[in-house]
Structures are given as C-alpha cells and as structure tokens.
A and B are shown apart, each in its own frame.
Chain A
Amino acid sequence: MLAVTLCIGAMAAIGYTSVSSESRQAPEVSEVSAHSISSTNSASSKSSGLSENITFDNIPLSEIARQLSETFGCTVVFADKAAEDIRLYFTIPKGSTAADFVAIIDDYDTLAANIKDNTITIKLQEGQQ
C-alpha cells in the first residue's frame, strides 16, 4: 500500500451543515488521489466531537475523509484506491468523534473501516475490489 502523508494546518470545526456536489470545493491540495490524508489538527472537536450535524450529499469519500481528518486531527488511509471515488450520502451527528465516523463508514456493506493509533483505514469489503 502506497501511503503519502499530507499535512494540513489546523482548522476550526466545520461550520456548515451541508455540502452538495455542485457547490463542493476542490481539495486544497493537488495530491487528492493520494492514498493517505492526514492532519495535525488537534482542535477541540477531536475530544468533544463535532459542533453540529454535517450532511454529506454526493461527496466522494476522499473529500469527506479530508474534511473530517482536519476536524478530528487524525490520518485517513485508503487501502483501496477505488474507495476514494465512492460518493456517499449520510449525516454525521453533532458530538460525533473519529470513532463514530469509522462506525458510519463500517456500517456500509460495501466499505470497511477501522481506527488505530489515530489513523483511520478505509477499504472496500471483500468481493468489492
């Protein structure tokens, strides 16, 4: 597995409730296809969770991972590149932590996720590759 780590500066908790596919911004870093996304952010949301509900509507998982890795101050690693392009719809509730995000992703039959040492690993379920 190729792992490229990108460091993104600290960022406040995400301040919007919905991101649509039409309005979503291009990633701030050019290496969007990289297999690992991380942040050194240690904002309050890391311990206390999200400050409000966030709905991801038709957003690629790579972008979701980028947003939330900044918020939670963790690293997201994609074990399967194909997983990055999966566009999801879900709402992550206020107060959620990185572990809750992992649980949401893991609930999809298509995806599998786990967290260890502040690193979230996302991959496709067996048979989906």
Chain B
Amino acid sequence: MRIRTLALLLLLTAAAASAGTRISKTYTRRPLPEVLVDIDKTAPEVSIRFIYNKLEDYLVSCSLHSATPLEAVQQAVGFYPIRVTRKDSIVIVEPVYETDRKIIGRVVNDKSHPLEFANISLYTADSTFVTGGVTNSNGDFVVPCPHRQVIARITFIGYKPFDRAFSFHNGENALQAGTIVLREDPQTLREVIVEQDLATTSAGKSTYIPTKRQRNAATDATALLQHMMIPQLRVNPASGYVTTLSGEAVSIFIDHIPASAEDLSGMNTQDVRRVEILDFPTDVRFQGKKHVVHFIMQKYTLGGYTKLATTDMILADFTSTNSVYSKLAHKRWTFDANITGRFSSQSHIGMEKTETFYLPSQAITRTETAHGGKQRSERKSASLRATYNSDKMQLANRFELLDEKTPRQELYGSVVYSPAVCQPTCSESSREARQLTPTYKGDWNFFLPNGWSLSASPSLQFSRNKQGRLYKEASPIEYNVKENAYKAEWVTLAGKSFAKKHSLQTGTYGFNYNSSMDYSGSTTAHQDMDYLALGIPVIYKFQAQKLKLEAQAVATYEHNEVNGETLSKWAPMASLEATYAFTPKNSLEAELGVGLYGANGAERNPNIMQENELLYYCGNPLVENYNSYFGRLQYTWMPSNKFTASALLEHYYHRDYFANVWNICNGGTAILRGIENVGDAHFTNISASLTLRLSDGSLQLNASPYLSLQDVSGLNKMKDSAFFLDLKASYYIGQFYFRGCYSLPEKVYYRENTSWLRRRSVYYITAGWGSKHWKAKADIVNPFRTDWRANSSTIATPLYSQRSESFNSSSHQRINLTLTYIFNYGKKVKQGNELGTASGGQSSIL
C-alpha cells in the first residue's frame, strides 16, 4: 500500500512537472523589459523580476526555438552585462554593475551591416581598463560606465579599431553614442588568431573543454580523458581506471547521473561539451562524493542513436567485448538500453610461488612451479534506464541483469618441499564459478522552493553465486560454496542554500549486505552474515568565486553479525577542505580529515579454509575498524592552453590499522593467515603531472612522476619508498592520431596484505582514426615482450615469507583492436549520457 501511494505520488509529481513551457519567438530590437514581460506571461511556471529603470536601454534581437523560460531569458540577455539569477521558480534579472551611467550605441560595418560580438572597452585617461561590453546580433550595445570621463575603444576582428571619448554631465546617466561605423582592415584580418581557453579553474572546480580532434579520436569516455591529458587525473591506459593524481578513486557522473567506469565505454564522445573536475562539490546531486569527474553533454529533445562497439585482443590469448547501445529521447524522457557480452579464453595463466614457513621445529620451503593453465570466462549484461528531466526534478531508474561465469579454470604445476617433508608432487587445481545478479538503481533529484534540494540514490542488488575448487597435491583439497546475497545501498541528501553563498546539507548514507553461504567438500561450514553501515553527515559549505570551504562531520554506525557473533560501533568522521582560486589560471586546495576504514565481508569471515598442505586462512569477525588522519595540498596551474600542471603533497596516518598476520597452528605443523589490528602506518605521497601542447595542440606531451614514502610500525614494521613515472605523447594529423606511452615499473605497498606488488613496465603505441560515425584504433602493447610474466609480489614476516609471480597476458605483447560505429535517427539529434554494462554483485566468498 505504501509503495503504491509512493508510486502514485511520484507519478503525480512527474505529471505536474512535465507541463513546462517551450517558447519559440523572434524579437527584433525590442526593449529588454518588454521581452522579459512577454516571457513571464508566456510561461506561468516561472516568475520573472527585474527593475525597469535599469534595463530599459537594452535592446534585444534574438530568435527562440523551443526554449525553456530560463533559456529564453538567458538568450534575451545575451552578452549584455546582466546577471540572471534563478531561485527555484523565480528568475531575477539585474545589471552586473551598480552604476546607473551607461553608454548606448550600435556598431555596423561600412555596408551598414550590424557587427555582432564587437568589443567595446572603456578606459580612463591613463589607459586603465574600466569596463567592457559586446554587441548583440543587431550590433546594439549598452556598456555601464562608473566614471564620468572615459575613452571607448571599439574593436572587431578584421576591422580597424575605433576610439572615442565620452563625458557625462551632471545628472546625466545615459550617453547615446549613436551608430559607429567600423572600417575593414585586411592586414589585421590575416593576423588575428582566436583562441578559447580550454582549461580554467575556480574554487573547487576545474573545467576542461575537449578539442574537436580529441572528441573525434576518442572511442569512449576514458579514452577521451586520456586524450585530454588532464593534469589532476591519472588514467590507467590498460584498464581505463580513473583516479586522482594520488591514486584516489574518483566518481564519474554524466549530466549529474552517476556512471561507473564501465558505463562510460559506450559514450559518444562527439557530444561531450566539457569535463569538470570537482572536489567536494556543493551540489547534492553528486551525493557527497569527494572527487568527481563530471561530463557535461549536449542535450537533445527528440531522436536517438545506436552505437555498436567491439574490442578484441589478439596475439596474447583472445578476449572479445561487444556491445550494442541505443538511446532514444522524447521531450523530457530519455531511454537507454544496452547489451554487452565479453568472452575470454586464456591458455597462458598460472602462478609460481616460493613460500617459507618458519615452524617451531624447522623452516620449510614450498616451491610451486607452473606448468600450464587455461581459463574461459563469459560476462553478459543487459540494462535499461528511463530518465525524466524537468526544471523541478531529475529521475533516473535503471534495471540491470548480469550473468557472469567462469566455466573452466585449470592450473597445472608441481610442488617441491625443502626439506622434503612431503614427496614432490604434481599439483592440479580446477575451479568453476557462476554469478547471477539483478540490480535496481535509482537516482532521484528534486529542486524544491526556497533554496531546498533533495537527492536520493537507492540501489538494490541480489546475487546468487556458486563456486567450486579442487586442488590436488598430496591429498585433494576440495570446496564448493553456494551463496545467496543481497546488497542495499542508499544515499539521501537534503540541502538548503541561504544568503547565496552558504549551504547546509544533511541526510543518510547506508549500506546493508546480507549473505548466506554453505561450504562443502574438505571443509563443511555454514555462514550467515549481516552487515549494516550507516552514516549521518552534517555538511556546511561556503562557495564564493575564489574561495570554497567545506566542513563535514559524519556520525557512523556499524553493525556486523557473523553466525550469531555481533559487533556494533559508533564512530565519528570529520573533514575540513578549503580551496582558493587566485585567478582562473591557478588554484590551491587544502584538505584535512579523519576517515574510517572498515573490514569487508571476506575479511570478517571466521571460517578456516585450507590453501595448501602448510597454509590455512580465515577472516576475523572481531577486527576493529581503524581511523585514518590525512592532510592534502594540491596546486593547479593553467597558464595557457599550451601548458597545464598540477602538483600534490599528501600524508596519511593510519592508527592501529588491520592487516594480515601469520601465526602457528595445528600444533606447530602449519601456518594460519588471519587478520588483526597490527599498529600504526604513515604514508606520504608527492606527485605531479605536467602537460605541454605544441603545434596548436597537434602534439601533446605529458609527464607524471610519483613518489611514495612508507613508514610502518608495530607487527609489520617496515620503512621504504617507491618512485613511478608515466610518460605520454600524442600526435594528431587530420583524422589520424598516434600515441606513445611508457610507464616505469611500479612498486605498490598493500598495507592490509602486508605485501609489495611490483608491476612490470608498460610501453605501447596507438594508431587511430576517427570520424563522426566510425572510429578505429589499434593499441600495440609491449611489442617486444614475448614472455608471459605479469605482476610479482613479496611478503616478508617473521613466521612466513612469500615471493610469487603470476603469468597471464597482461604484460605480454598484444594488439587491442577497437571499432565503433554510431548512427543517428530522428529529426533533431542532441546526444547525451550513456548507459553501460552492469556491475557484479558483492560476495563474501573467500
């Protein structure tokens, strides 16, 4: 009954909101107040306010085509120095400048044709710039003038500048400059270069405009980010994973709707108007996310398109990803449907591992050598999303179904023990898994009167998982597990803005995960797990042109129940962030905070599982969450389109964090890997990214160095550092482009695994071609590397040490081929945000 009432309420609200007015009219040299009154009377859903005395001198010439009332007002105002402020349904139109004095006139050429976008600059007698203005489509201008005596300079590309002095007499507020005729200047026409700022920064937001050649070349959203070489972002060239400069996760949104990294693979990059990098955004639609990459797309009202895409990996085994994406928009509704299939067949997988077990009686080394391995996996997903947009709300509802299976994974090897406590044996491991996950995700945004806004993002996911593993060494180890799990997540935020620059937000963050698992085989066990995490934030934000402040306090509650054992805890979190933008070209951001890290389901799983003859592992339901204190300082500099840079310094202090520990078990005959709170850790990261654009952007160069320092105390005491460097170059020629990338070997410390991971260096060359409909690219990755070695990791502790190396195609020579085709339909096409593949369900299976 409640659901029915809620649905009815939503439908009624949607119906009420859908009655928006679209205005199609032409105005020629009409006084602005007259046009505003006309718009106000045409559109009952808005209430326009203005002061006649201030706007009567402004003449309007414009054509409106199916414009919303706000768009109509904005088009009428055009480039006049007039501010349009929207406050719910109220639109206030006022001049930017406080003075009543103004110079009024019209600019035409020597054939009496009006010159649109001519610049009028006012200077004092000592050549100090005072104010300026731009002519409208009819050549009319009105420029406010705070001084009594000024010199006006009128300029237009290809025309000789025109200078004239103006003096206001006592009591005189409006000076008529009359019609000013500019004469052509062919010499200057040849010299003029018009350049748009492709990157600007303000407090908390940096805006980047992709060039046409970047949009043309990019096959998807993350490829576009790679082409743009945004200094505040790192984009992994292989996975497309996007992080901040320091490696922190970013949330990606398209037109205020969240999108996963995978979702972005289907985007039509031709429609990207700009990309915003937001830190602690004030808008509740960003759901309180810390770092946001926001794609602003061209909107469209009627029509749609279909995109076909295929990506195939050859030379190194075979992987093929194919997708069909369709978008259809009708008035305020947009429907997206997507089907994606990914098939992978690998015959070069495996792992070699040397482990040493420091048992009380003796140290035993176990060496596992890989002889071969095969894996086949499939991932199929389908999704449908309906989005409703109006001035009062934005409602998106998405349904996804994901079917993911690994029908076959077989690994062969041999195992040798030293001393020979066991006979050398051949090992054989087989595994199969299947996951079926239906998901609902909603994103509802409401814009309420009096500065209130409301955002709610619920999601519900069911997951049915099945996994079987058989490991044969001296004696077979087998386990089969079946799991039914559901996950509910939500973010609700209510915000109220007041006095134009301040806002207050509160709401709830929620996460509930419930899992029921049955183990059979060598270990028989049953696990019921219920995990609930709640957060109640109170956020204050101050946003001015140059300064942005945010103070956030969150009360978090966590309840974890595993097989009847419960743990409940309240904990506070807080952060303080400030950004100051000195100019639109450089900004400084500082952040201080306290965060909370919690263990996931697998880390809290108490069941003891056997990995090999000498090693067992389990989670710990009683492990304590830990606090992390951090400080961050980031400077972004964009002196010109030719050069952009960002530098970052951050420090983390993790207090009594949890990590893997190794203990003696089974009466001194084996080692058990568990999880405990082990001590404190300090991490310092220093990183930078510098992008240089030469030859009018045809050549782009980027360097991103990264240095991390680790100092860990307690059980896993350690002190070390790691350096990483990423170099990229792109060259564009016509519709073709070429890109080269080299990444140094990377060393990463995973504090919770107590392990160092070493990634091999990556070098690749990309050749691509793009047009409006077709795009093709070939990535030639590691062309001279014929071995199958991939990442390696090391663990060194008093009771256990390990060095392992995995084998797969990730570092092997290979070619990735991508081909996309887009066709449009409908009368008026304006393409927008994309829907993509479904995301897999969470699982507690160890």
Contacts and interface: CB of A to CB of B under 8 A. Distances in A.
Contact of A89 (B48, B83, B87, B90): B48
A58 B92 contact: no
Point out which of B51, B54, B87 has the most chain A C-beta atoms below 10 A from its C-beta: B51
Contact of A87 (B37, B49, B53, B87): B53
A87 B47 contact: no
B191 interface: no
Nearest to B33: A89
Interface residues of B, number: 18
A107 B52 contact: no
Contacts of B40: 89, 91
Given A57-B37, A58-B33, A127-B98, A87 B52 contact: yes
Nearest to A89: B50
Point out which of B47, B49, B94 has the most chain A C-beta atoms below 10 A from its C-beta: B49
Nearest to B100: A128
B108 interface: no
Contacts of A125: 98
Interface in A80-129: 85-91, 93, 104, 107-110, 125, 127-128
A5 B206 CA distance: 55
Given A58-B33, A107-B90, A88 B98 contact: no
B454 interface: no
A54 to B, nearest CB: 12
B53 A85 contact: yes
A104 B51 CA distance: 12
A11 to B, nearest CB: 25
Contact of B49 (A58, A85, A108, A127): A108
A110 B37 contact: no
A100 B37 CA distance: 21
A89 B53 contact: no
A89 B52 contact: yes
Contacts of B87: 107
A109 B50 contact: no
B52 A109 contact: no
Interface in B41-62: 47-54
Nearest to A93: B47
Contacts of B47: 90-91, 93
Given A87-B51, A90-B47, A91-B47, A110 B94 contact: yes
B36 interface: yes
B44 to A, nearest CB: 10
A16 to B, nearest CB: 16
A76 to B, nearest CB: 18
Contacts of B50: 88-90
Nearest to B89: A93
Contacts of A86: 51, 53
Contacts of B90: 107
A107 B33 contact: no
Point out which of A89, A90, A104, A127 has the most chain B C-beta atoms below 10 A from its C-beta: A89
Contacts, number: 49
A19 B52 CA distance: 14
B49 A110 contact: no
B73 to A, nearest CB: 12
B49 A104 contact: yes
Contact size range, A: 10 to 19
Nearest to A57: B37
A128 B49 contact: no
A89 B54 contact: no
Given A89-B33, A89-B37, A127-B98, A107 B49 contact: yes
B48 to A, nearest CB: 7
Contacts of A93: 47
Nearest to A20: B37
Contacts of B49: 88-91, 104, 107-108
Contact of B92 (A87, A91, A108, A128): A108
Interface string B437-449: 0000000000000
A128 B36 CA distance: 23
A94 B359 CA distance: 84
Contacts of A57: 37
A87 B47 CA distance: 17
A49 to B, nearest CB: 16
Contacts of A90: 47-50
B687 to A, nearest CB: 43
Point out which of B40, B53, B90, B94 has the most chain A C-beta atoms below 10 A from its C-beta: B53
A127 to B, nearest CB: 5
Interface string B84-105: 0001001010100010000000
Contacts of A104: 49
A110 B51 contact: yes
B33 A108 contact: no
A109 B37 contact: no
B770 to A, nearest CB: 47
Given A89-B33, A89-B37, A58 B94 contact: no
Nearest to B49: A90
A93 B90 CA distance: 11
A50 to B, nearest CB: 14
B98 A107 contact: no
Contacts of B52: 58, 87-89
A57 B47 CA distance: 12
Point out which of B33, B87, B90, B98 has the most chain A C-beta atoms below 10 A from its C-beta: B98
A2 B466 CA distance: 86
A17 B53 CA distance: 22
A91 B51 CA distance: 13
Contacts of B37: 57, 89
B36 A110 contact: no
A109 B227 CA distance: 43
B51 A108 contact: yes
Nearest to A92: B47
Contacts of A107: 49, 87, 90, 92
Nearest to A126: B98
A117 B92 CA distance: 28
A128 B40 CA distance: 27
A109 to B, nearest CB: 5
A23 to B, nearest CB: 15
Nearest to B56: A87
Contacts of A108: 49, 51, 92, 94
A86 to B, nearest CB: 6
Contacts of A127: 98
A9 to B, nearest CB: 30
Contacts of B94: 108-110
A92 to B, nearest CB: 9
A128 B33 contact: no
A93 B449 CA distance: 13
Contacts of A87: 51-53
Contacts of A88: 49-52
Interface of B: 33, 36-37, 40, 47-54, 83, 87, 90, 92, 94, 98
Interface of A: 57-58, 85-91, 93, 104, 107-110, 125, 127-128
Given A104-B49, A107-B87, 18 more contacts: A58-B33, A58-B52, A88-B49, A88-B50, A89-B37, A89-B40, A89-B52, A90-B48, A90-B50, A91-B47, A91-B49, A107-B49, A107-B90, A108-B49, A108-B92, A109-B92, A110-B94, A125-B98
8 contacts: A85-B53, A88-B50, A89-B36, A91-B40, A91-B49, A109-B92, A109-B94, A110-B98
A-B interface, 8 closest residue pairs, ranked by CB to CB distance from nearest? A87-B52, A90-B49, A127-B98, A91-B47, A58-B52, A109-B94, A89-B50, A87-B53
